[in-house]
Amino acid sequence: MIAVGVENGHVVTTATFKNPLPSYRSRVFKSAGAEKAKDRYDRELGYIATLESHEGQKLCQRLLSNFFTVIANEHMFATTRDARMVRILRKFGFVQLGKQYDDDLLLFVYERQTRVVGMSRAEIK
């Protein structure tokens, strides 16, 4: 599944929701030292990008806000080496899992959001 942000007929930001190959997922989780969790997170949020000329306008965050109305009910993972993306992933409820690997990559995971009688998981506490 692909989400795109379009401005004046041009794609300016993107994100994808992927079904990665099991071998890739195993390698990522093993490299991060979190191999036992690999089967829980079978979907990946990736290829999140914004044109350099449009950075700083929160286009990625707006795109993800809309995208999450569709994908928030899934367990997923994401990887990044970009400090800005770390902040964005955390805003959307991702938490780091394991250790840094391949010199500068970090693994983040997201637990599906559950609702109980119209309440989010955060409201149940």
- Tokens 């899992």 locate to 97
Mean pLDDT, to the nearest integer, of 35-50? 94
Task: Report pLDDT digits (tens) over 60-75.
Answer: 999 999 999 999 999 9
Q: Is 25:41 a contact under the CB 8 Å cutoff?
A: yes
Over 70: is that where the pLDDT of 105 sits? yes
Six token digits for residue 23 = 């071998």
Per-residue model confidence (pLDDT) at position 69? 92
Per-residue model confidence (pLDDT) at position 112? 87
Per-residue model confidence (pLDDT) at position 21? 96
Provide the residue type at 22 as one letter. Answer: P
**Spatial distance between the Cα atoms of 117 and 37, rounded to a whole number of angstroms:** 29
Per-residue model confidence (pLDDT) at position 115? 52
Over 90: is that where the pLDDT of 114 sits? no
**pTM score:** 0.85
CATH number of 2-124: 3.40.630.30
Which residues lie below 8 Å from residue 80, measured CB to CB, with a gap of 6+? 86, 89, 105, 106, 108
Task: Give Cα 120 to chain centroid, integer Å.
Answer: 19
- Give the SS3 label for residue 38: coil
- List the domain boundaries for the chain: 2-124
Mean pLDDT, to the nearest integer, of 26-40? 96
Task: Report pLDDT digits (tens) over 15-29.
Answer: 999 999 999 999 999
